[in-house]
Amino acid sequence: MNKTKLFCSIFFTGMLSVGFAQKQTDSLEVEKLDEVVVTDSRFQLKRENSGKVITKITSKDLEKLQGQSIAEIIGRTAGVEVNGVRSNAGQNLSYFVRGGRNRQVLIMIDGVQVTDPSQIANDYDLRLLNADQVESIEILKGASSTLYGTGAATAIINIKLKGATKKAFNLNLRSSLGTNQSSDENNYAIEDFRNSVSLNGSVGKFNYFASFGQQFTDGLSAIKGGSESDAFNSYNGNLRLGYRFSNSFKLNTYASFDKYKADFDDSFGMLDADNVSNSKQYRIGISPEYKYNKGRITINAAYNEVERDIESSFPSMFNAQSFIVDAFNRYNFSDKFYTVLGVNFQDNQMESFSIPFGESDFSQAINPEMAQFTITDPYSNLVYVSDYGLNINAGLRLNNHSEYGSHLVYSLNPSYKVDLDFGYLKGLASYSTAFITPSLFQLFEPSYGNTDLEPEENQTIEVGAEVSIKDKATFSLVYFNRNEDNFIDFVDTGGFVFQYQNIDESFTASGLEFVAQAKLAKALDINLNATYTSLDEDLSLRIPEIKVNTRLDYQVCESTLVSLSYQYNDEREDAVFNSMTFENDAVTLNSYGLLDFYISHKISNGKMTLFANVTNIFNEEYQELFGFSTRGRGVNLGFSLSL
């Protein structure tokens, strides 16, 4: 089918779904409260007053997605492609949003930017995060550096972890087991084990939350056709303590650790190998908040330490530390005018070790006294919500970097809402700029680093519309156009001598994002999104031109839910290193579609939930990355218990 016709068909299907939902309005009870979003302004605003189309994954949504990782859940969002989630459990993850790469996606946990300064892309590894710890997720697409700083060029993924309940003691247990095999296997051995436990509660002014999670997955080789499996083993721990000193002042503290060990194969020769990647993360943080008459002052401070070591033919070790303080004042002049004034400070440092050719012992490759930079960014943001439909969100940020100096970014996001008998119609537009700081590796690696690098720059234009039908349906269509300048590339300077350099060429990514959420009947909901992405050839690696996600949820009875989801990925271009020419050859990965089934049933007065997943029902064979394995049909069974 012509791809344009396919996208238009999806668009009109969604419109029909919305129309059908509207016809059902009179016979359905109104149960849903006005949705509130935070990420686009740091204020709790009604969705209808936001100039952005934000994807919000609530705790109720997550209950319908038990057994999936955070990366899998995020990868079902419009405009988002998380590559590697359906491969071997230890596969590296790539985040492609609106044609961007990992370094252009900023991940935040409880309001704090999380990165790994030892990575080439300075990105956070979602494999470290346990889905059972997560309360909700907001995904804001578009350039957002004015409010969140470096890396917020194509998307903000704002993850909120679970907190304490109002009960004095609450125990939660979750456990699941399942298969993990390729499409050409049919033994369905139990190879995937996931367990978590949490304790939380509130006693007077004190609250606490403690959790521990574990995953062990085996049975699937990293490379396609490999003769031995490559296991993945992870552990997560989290402790949060809070105390409310008065109605005006409260303090939250936390500490966490995340560890994983992943076996992997030789990706150059595409051969089985006994390679191992170990990663450890330790985080501590403090977040005091003072509330006064019309505002509140918040300080989010966190220290993050990462240790990674690679056991292979080219062994290496990496250590990185980052210290982040984000202090901001939210002031509400009235119920129409909100402002944020803040300053963000970051201190990043890394070191690495490798074994030089001909030697047997590790030696320092990157010196931490050299590989360090600080960032100090004052910023401001204002939101105006009128009583006649006009809403404006605007921001300004001055980035001050210890290596390359100062850089200014800004944003303007007007929207206009018209109230209608059946709901509202909202038009929106935005122009925003963003920057991506060169990583410590790109700046200071002794062979390839370049201390003269400048930040990458992005400019994004968005135009769109959203229709809401009184708690029964929401429909949106957004056009985006994103331009990249100062792109940092790995350049051959001659004689196979490579260096990271800013290149003069500009790149463009544009596309359409369509989302429809509707209540088709009292017990039947549909969630549908489709993305069309048009890219310059240099940006097209592993990004589908057309991607579609849809999910039908049917509440059989008060205690039983069934869900059917489908994902379609268009053809993608991949690159394979040619050892004969020492260059990358282009290959085309075939399109594929995956159908999944989920069922859950509550017993013991809702205290226990039994759930099951059947993924890739038709056992389709496909590739996410050329030469690497992907999962075939899988079965997953589990339970969650709350006491």
Residue 9 has pLDDT above 60, yes or no: no
Closest by CA to 334, choosing from 386, 391, 393, 288, is: 386
Under 8 Å CB-to-CB from 373, ≥6 apart: which residues? 347, 348, 401, 402, 403, 437, 440, 443
pLDDT per residue as tens digits for the range 193-240: 999 999 999 999 999 999 999 999 999 999 998 889 999 999 999 999
CB neighbour burial string for 554-585, b if at least 16 within 10 angstroms, e if fewer: eeeeeeebebebebbbbebbbeeeeeeeeeee
pLDDT per residue as tens digits for the range 107-157: 999 888 898 898 998 888 888 888 888 999 999 998 899 999 999 999 999
CA distance 386 to 405: 38
The residue type of 537 is E
User: What's the whole-number average pLDDT of the chain?
Assistant: 89
pLDDT per residue as tens digits for the range 264-303: 998 877 888 999 999 999 999 999 999 999 899 999 999 9
Q: Is 35 exposed, middle or buried (0-12, 13-18, 19+ CB in 10 A)?
A: middle
Strand-pair category, 105-109 with 155-161: parallel
Q: What is the pTM of this model?
A: 0.89
Residue 537 Cα to chain centre, angstroms: 24
pLDDT per residue as tens digits for the range 65-92: 888 889 999 999 998 999 999 999 999 9
Residue 261 has pLDDT above 70, yes or no: yes
628: CATH: 2.40.170.20
**Averaged over 481-494, what is the pLDDT?**
90
CB 340 within 8 A of CB 380: yes
Closest by CA to 453, choosing from 500, 398, 506, 399, is: 500
> In which domain, by residue range, is 317 found?
3-642
Domains identified in the chain, total number: 1
Residue given tokens 């992907």 in the structure block: 630
Q: What is the reported pLDDT for 497?
A: 84
